[in-house]
Every structure is written in C-alpha cells, then in structure tokens.
Chains A and B, each alone.
Chain A
Amino acid sequence: MDIDTAADATTNGASHFTLDADTFRKIHPAEYNRRFISQGVRADGRPLQRFRKANVNVGSITTANGSSMVRLGNTTVICGIKAEVTEPTPEAPRAGFLVPNLDLPALCSPQFRPGPPGELAQTISEYINQICTSTNLLNLDDLCIASGQAVWVLHADILCLNYEGNALDAALAALIAALWNVRLPKSTYDELEGTVRAAATNTIPLVLNRLPLAATFGVFDAQHLIADPTDQEEPLLSSQLAIVVDQEDNLCGILKEGSAMDRERMVECIGLARNRAQALRRLIDEALAKADAS
C-alpha cells in the first residue's frame, strides 16, 4: 500500500494528515531507510560502511577486579569482572574458569522485557563464550591457586545500559578491556583450614593470549552492505555477519545469519573488520594507559 495515496485519501474532512519524517519512519521503517541507503547514506547520517564512534573507559567499578565501559554511538555496555574462589574439576585440577554473560535488561531499551534473558542475549553470551574457549583467550591454568584444591573463577558480567544496536561488538570489546584491567590479589591456600587467604590489594594482571574483537555488518535489500547496524536497522536486514579478528589479523570467528551472501562481499567485510578491530584495540590501549597513569 502506498503511503502517499493514504495521505491523500485522508485529507477529506476535519483532519489534515501531514507526513513528516518521524511519522514516515514510524509507519514505514523499511521504506524510510531504503530512501536513505539507496542514496549511499544512512538514516543517522553515516556513510554505509562507517562504524559508529567508539569510546572506552576502564577501572571505574571498584567492587570488581576489572571493569570497563564501552560505547559505540549510543550503545553503552559495562563489563565487570569478579574473581571468586572455587574447586577445580577432577579432569583439569589446575584450570580456572571464565564465565562471560551478556545481560540486556529492560532498562536499556523498550524492546526488552524484564525476566530471563531473551534470544539475542543468549546468542551473544554463547558466542562470546565460544570465542573465549576457541581462541584460548586466557591460560586457564594461570588461575590456579592450589592444584586440585582451589582455582579462581572469573565471572565476567556484561551489562547493557543503553541499547542502540550491535551489542556483540560492544560486549566483546568491553570483555577484552575489562579482562586486561583485571588485577588479582596474591593468594595462598591454607591446607589445614581448606581456605584461601588473599592480600588486601589486587596486584597481579592476567596474561591475554589474544585480543579478539568483533565487527558486525548487515545487508540491506540484498545489495547494500552496511557496517555496525543500529537497532532501527537491525530488524530490516536480510542477513548479518559478525567477524572476529585478533591483534595479528587472524580470523577468530565468523557468525553469519540470514540469507545468502556472496564470497567477494565476505572478503570485503573481513578487510573492514581488520581495520575496525585495530581501531578498537588502540582505544582500549589508550584507556588502559590512562587508568594506569592515574
């Protein structure tokens, strides 16, 4: 149904229907975005393949062993890592645990409801967990306090405060920045009591084997490739592609959903993802240096 004829048809009678941009966006989001994207620009003013401005901060949560806040445009996530003591499994007596979870609470967008995590949060949490394991992000043996008795478990809870789309890129960047910011206390295992004693100050940093970071793309109308989609664009995309690369430009993972995508386009995305990951890594570096200096 054509919206312009709708506007004409309703001008009979008392009410005059003026179709301004906001109303048009609300009624016909796909057409609204199509008119922008076919002109090579997006509704928020970005060129098709430009990522939103990113911003990284670390160490502001003092109750956590490591923390970070990452902003991509208006998407804001906070990651806090808490280290607690637990028993290792019999199969891996020296291995600690890293447990990442993304929370998309009702606070961060009207599209989420209170209650258990929805599909999006589940998918992203699971994917981030896979990346952590498959890239051997941490040597889990470094988290050992006493073999077979006590190890550290790192609870990495990633909370979205403001959801404007593309939670994966923000969440993974926040996790990496927060892990880098983690300081564990010196600790000893008391065999007699079966307890762990820790120093009052947190001093020991973690060793990260890799720094995987994600860049997400979407395909609009099966032909236009857009980078870093917003929450307005996400429901309109025919397919989405997330590419994870590490600091040596190695591919760590590709997550693709939706309809088919040709090979050249995938290669193009990988190139763009490398640049984005590099830029994010630089921002994280700067934030960590700033936190160390203060």
Chain B
Amino acid sequence: MADRKRVVGPEKSVLPLVESGPQQPFNPDRRKDGRSGDRIRPLFLKTGIIKQADGSAYIETGRLKVACGVYGPRQSARNKLPTQGTLNCDFKFSAFSSAKRRAYAKDNHERECSLIVYQALAPAVRLDLIPKSTVDVYIQILESDGNAACLAAAITCAAMALADAGIEMTDAVAASSAGYIGGNVVLDPDGDEETLQNGSLMVSYMPSLNEVTHMMQIGEVTTNLTVKGMEACVDACSQIRTVMQQALAASLADGNS
C-alpha cells in the first residue's frame, strides 16, 4: 500500500552483503570492549532533555541511545477506569536506529516491547492518585545495540522520565539484561554478543522494595544458570539505580541555579 503521507522511495531495498573479518573467539572474562562477564557498559543518564514534555530522560550506554518523553497526567481521551489513571507506553525504533532501516508503521516487535515496558512500570506507578487521567510515555530508540539491552535501557529511561515528570511512584524501576553464552552468564550483551548466545534474560526490578516487576527469559538453560543470571541482573539493577539517583538529584540541583 502506498504511503501518501510520506515521501516514498523504491518499494524494496536491501542491505549489501558485508565482508566481515575473522571473528575473535569469545572470552567471557575479557570481552571485545574489555569488560568481564559480570560488568555492564558505563551508563550516561540525563533528565529534562525534551523541554516540551512534562518529564523526559536520555540514556546512553555503549552505542545504545534511548530518549523518552512523558506527557501527563492529562485528560484521558477515553475513561476506561474512572477511579484510576491510565499508563500508556509507546516504544518506537527510529528509522535509522538499526542495521536494517525500520519502517514507520509499528511492527509486532515494537508492539511487544511497548507492552513489556508497560508491564515493567505499571506496578510502580501510583495510578490510584490520578483518577481519570492518562500518563503517556513515548520511548524513541535512537540507536539500538542488542535487543534485550535495548529494552532494558528503555525501561530504565522511562522510569527516569516518569520521576522527572513528578509522577508518584513507589519505586524507580531499573532494568538490566543478560545473555547465556556457553554456560556463562554475560551481563548487558551488545548486538554482536547476542548472536552468540543460546538464551537471554531481562529483569525489571524495584531496588529499594526488593521486588521484581517483570522478567523475561528466552532460550533453553538450566535452572541453576537462570538463578545465577537473575542474581547478576538484580545486582546490575542496583548499580543502575545508583546512577539514576545521582542523575535525578543532579536535575534538581540544575533547577536551582
């Protein structure tokens, strides 16, 4: 179907075949960026990047870049539950954010991610305090590097933006991911490492209440390894939480000056 509302190019285009050099063997103690298996990539967080939004945040970790804007509480278009507010999450890849160009129309993967972000955040947001209102969370992936890591960053970024918007939450949700590569748990795998893994895990966690809000495991692994992976992810979430706290406190200090 032709898109009349955009400038359209050729109907079909493909990526060229890229000649890749020899692959370095994977070493869980010394990965290609020098990390060991139990380390996440350094994290940069900033709030208030979208001035038009009620709250916003930006996260950059490795090549991964995510922006999130929160609008609300605003009048609901439709009142589903009059006693409770509605949380609406929208997860979108930018056209240029991945190896293959993304279409503008939302695909199934984006729909699934939107739902996961909602499931991860909804337990923390105190929707009972904002009856008849809607909070819209718009997540835009600017550059993706690893599916699970991207989703985790989106959740962390959205939680930051919600806090920046002053939406009441029981806790600031942090999320992290891990891959299972040859019997090892590898935290925060990037896109290349994801091609090697035989399973992955993503955990959304409320660090100060010590509760998991969402957990997703893909692939076949032993129970022991899953437990190990979960512990690693929960630890990573607590680390991420420290960075979130610092960034949120910094945003207040900026506001004062």
Contacts and interface: CB of A to CB of B under 8 A. Distances in A.
Interface in A26-74: 60-64, 67, 74
Interface string B119-151: 000000000000000001010101110000000
Given A62-B63, A99-B8, A198-B16, A82 B53 contact: no
B90 interface: yes
A82 B101 contact: yes
Given A155-B96, A197-B19, A198-B18, A110 B10 contact: no
Contacts of B51: 74, 162, 164
Contacts of A99: 7-9
A105 B140 contact: yes
B101 to A, nearest CB: 5
A60 B199 CA distance: 30
A86 B14 contact: yes
Contacts of A110: 52-53, 71, 74
A103 B144 CA distance: 19
A64 B15 contact: no
A61 B69 CA distance: 20
B253 interface: no
Contacts of A196: 16-17
Contact of A63 (B21, B90, B97): B97
Interface residues of A, number: 52
B84 interface: no
B143 A116 contact: no
B43 interface: no
Contacts of A63: 63, 96-99, 143-144
29 contacts: A61-B96, A63-B96, A63-B98, A76-B49, A80-B95, A82-B96, A84-B16, A86-B9, A86-B10, A97-B9, A101-B104, A105-B140, A107-B50, A107-B67, A107-B69, A110-B53, A116-B5, A117-B6, A121-B5, A129-B7, A153-B13, A155-B13, A155-B101, A157-B101, A159-B94, A161-B140, A162-B49, A164-B52, A195-B17
A122 B101 contact: no
Interface of B: 5-10, 12-21, 49-53, 63, 65, 67-69, 71, 74, 90, 92, 94-101, 104, 136, 138, 140, 142-144
Nearest to A129: B7
A276 B14 CA distance: 38
A126 interface: yes
Interface string A182-208: 000101000000011111100000000
Chain B interface secondary structure, helix, strand, loop or mixed? Answer: loop
Interface string A150-162: 0001010101011
A153 B12 CA distance: 10
B228 to A, nearest CB: 32
Nearest to B99: A63
A103 B13 contact: no
Nearest to B69: A107
Given A107-B140, A164-B52, A82 B95 contact: yes
B192 to A, nearest CB: 13
